[in-house]
């Protein structure tokens, strides 16, 4: 998954959370960990994702 795709997923998840839908935190954690291991995720973006998850959950 590319960083722009992750950004789109975050936007979608945020909209779903605003509608009261549940966020699958495990899916996000797994995706971020996989991308970090592959070295294809910028550290700042992973921090943004985890910060978002902490706020949303």
What span, in angstroms and rounded, lies between the C-alpha atoms of 32 and 50?
9
| Domain residue ranges of the chain, discontinuous segments joined by + | 1-6+23-57
- Read off the pTM: 0.50
Who wins on pLDDT, 3 or 17? 17
Check residue 40 and give its pLDDT: 66
**pLDDT tens, position by position, 9-51:** 777 877 888 888 887 878 777 777 777 777 766 667 777 777 7
CB 32 within 8 A of CB 50: yes
* Cα within 13 Å of Cα(5), Cβ side: 8
Is the distance from CB of 46 to CB of 36 less than 8 angstroms?
A: yes
* Confidence category of residue 57, pLDDT binned at 50, 70, 90: low
pLDDT at 7: 72
- pLDDT score, position 41: 67
Answer whether 46's CB lies under 8 Å from 35's CB.
yes
């Amino acid at each position: 998954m590319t960083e722009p795709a992750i950004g789109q997923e975050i936007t979608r998840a945020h909209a779903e959370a605003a509608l009261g839908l549940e966020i699958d935190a495990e899916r996000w954690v797994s995706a971020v960990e996989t991308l970090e291991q592959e070295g294809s995720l910028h550290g700042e973006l992973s921090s943004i994702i985890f910060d978002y998850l902490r706020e949303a959950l």
